[in-house]
Amino acid sequence: MFFGGGTPSLMPPDTVAAVIDAARAAWPTSNDMEITLEANPTSVEAGKFRAFRQAGVNRISMGIQALNDADLKRLGRRHTVKEAQTAFEIARSEFDRVSFDLIYARQDQTLTDWRVELNLALSMAVDHLSLYQLTIEDGTAFGDRFSRGLLRGLPDDDRAADMYEATQHMCENAGMLGYETSNHASLGAESAHNLIYWRYGDYVGIGPGAHGRLTLPTGKITTEALRQPGAWLNAVRANTNTADIHQVLPLADQATELMMMGLRLSEGVSLQRYERLSNRYLPEVKLTGLVELRLIEISDDRLTVSKRGRPLLNAILRDLLID
């Protein structure tokens, strides 16, 4: 189970307990089920960590984002580094499993700056780190600021690539292996909910705007819940469908999604699974070319992106999937 999106740690712990109880009543669960809750590193939310543990949460994921106060302000975060470190220590005292995330390739950040910050993060880490390169997307607050020239000092592609390479090297040396493009963990501590998405498994999305993928007798369906909280809540109260989108995914689309998700993992994708969904083989000439460039590797049934190819993942996907 994963409580994420928005700020779920603002929920009363009793609400979290009620959701967990409802899920256990609806589906069979394993004894070692991972139940993750995302939390902001503030004193208000950290003060509820023990109650969340008692409610059934057994893993915390903290949105620290930067270990630099000036950059936290630039990112629009309300906490300070000291507050984040204090909240993290409280989480460590209550939970065996604690993860946190950082964003790199930020404004005016140098490779040396990032190395210092990542060293600090690795000294704090328990068993999992999520390390995301800052990207500018249209339709977001950062995209709007970038278009107006208000995000000066972003690193160029070469410097960002150097930061990515340093991230992989430093994490691997610290025993935090990169099992997914942006996620690192000690062996056996990989995030269960992350792996479900990247392995293209089934998951139920509950709550306003939540997405899901479910395999039914009619095929694999995609769901998206009503975005407006009021409309979603009214549908729940009326015992009507809370889904805004509910449609069967064509097999070709499933095959594409499988590749786009699965090649982010170090374990890669089953070629047989792709071929079964798509009803076609990946072009041999393209596979051979990418292997010769040492961008991908093929072993038995597994197609994986090499360490050299990971920074070029989007280009590799385009080459493989677009005729």
Read off the pLDDT of each residue in 86-100 and give the average, rounded to a whole number. Answer: 95
Q: Where are the beta strands (DSSP E) in the chain?
A: 2-3, 36-39, 59-65, 97-104, 128-133, 177-180, 183-185, 211-216, 219-225, 243-248, 269-270, 296-299, 302-305
Task: Give the pLDDT confidence score for residue 314 in this predicted structure.
Answer: 94
Residue recorded with tokens 């280009």: 315
CA 146 from chain center: how many Å?
Answer: 24
- Judge whether residue 204 has pLDDT over 80: yes
Domains of the chain: 2-189 (3.30.750.200), 199-249 (no CATH), 254-321 (1.10.10.920)
Q: What percent of the chain has pLDDT over 70?
A: 95
72: tokens are 């936290």
Task: Give the pLDDT confidence score for residue 147 in this predicted structure.
Answer: 65
Which burial class, exposed, middle or buried, applies to 284 when counting CB atoms under 10 A from its CB (0-12, 13-18, 19+)?
A: exposed
pLDDT band at 149 (very low <50, low <70, confident <90, very high): low
Closest by CA to 184, choosing from 148, 138, 131, is: 131
312: tokens are 């070029």
Task: Give the pLDDT confidence score for residue 221 in this predicted structure.
Answer: 94
90: tokens are 């409280």
Q: How far apart are alpha carbons 79 and 310 in whole angstroms?
A: 33
Task: Give the pLDDT confidence score for residue 42 in this predicted structure.
Answer: 85
Residue recorded with tokens 């994986």: 304
